[in-house]
Structure 1
Amino acid sequence: MKKMIFGIIGISAFLVSCGPKSTAVTGPKYTSSEQLAQGKTIFENSCNKCHGLPNPERHDDQGWIKTLSRMAPRAKLNDDQHQMVYDYLISVNKK
């Protein structure tokens, strides 16, 4: 019985750890030209490894939050990098 309980707890912990992470980005944070330039560099270097770079106008601000929440973990971006990429994208987005 103990094995079964510990097995269920272990499987539950594994499934929770593999689930979607909460987004680090909820809105704009960085506005300095240096941070936006870093966001552009991270965007160009990280996103371009797996696919072509999307047009920043592809999504509105909320759309980028959703897209980056899904893609930032795949690109292994930390929270600050995630935020800088988001802030760069919305700074050049005309939507």
Structure 2
Amino acid sequence: MKKISAAALLAGILLASCTPKASTVAPIGPAVSSAEQLAQGKTIFENSCGRCHKLPDPTAHTSVQWVGIMNSMAPKAKLTDEQHQWVYDYIVSVKK
């Protein structure tokens, strides 16, 4: 019985160590941004996003779709987590 308990404990430890690591993508979600942060988000959006391609229309996608778009594009633009949030907040504010 002790061997079964020890084997179960060992299996549990091994399984726990094999879980996927937490994502390194910046969290995006509802945030309270000041007018200054929204202005910075707009500037970053226009300068960073517009450097490589035509600027997308912020109203063309839902807030949920923008999360995926931002998570894939922000690393290419080398945005900090804070800048990432500001751009997202700006885009969502345009939709209101």
Same fold at TM > 0.5: yes
Q: Deviations over 1:69-92 (max 9, x none)?
A: 000000000100000000000000
Identity score, percent: 57
Cα distance, 1:51 vs. partner? Answer: 0.1
Q: Which amino acid aligns with 1:81?
A: Q
Cα distance, 1:26 vs. partner? Answer: 2.9
Aligned twin of 2:31? 29
Counterpart Cα distance in 1 of 2:32 and 2:77: 20
Q: CA RMSD in A?
A: 1.3
Aligned twin of 1:39? 41
Tell me if the contact between 1:36 and 1:84 (Cα under 8 Å) persists in the aligned partners.
yes
Counterpart Cα distance in 1 of 2:25 and 2:63: 14
Cα distance, 1:39 vs. partner? Answer: 0.2
Tell me if the contact between 2:28 and 2:88 (Cα under 8 Å) persists in the aligned partners.
no
Structure 1 residue ranges (4+ consecutive) displaced by more than 2 angstroms after TM superposition:
none
Unaligned runs of 5+ residues in structure 2 are 1-22
Q: Which amino acid aligns with 1:80?
A: E
State TM-score, norm by structure 1.
0.72
Larger Rg: 2
Q: Which amino acid aligns with 2:93?
A: S
Q: How many residues align?
A: 74
Aligned twin of 1:69? 71
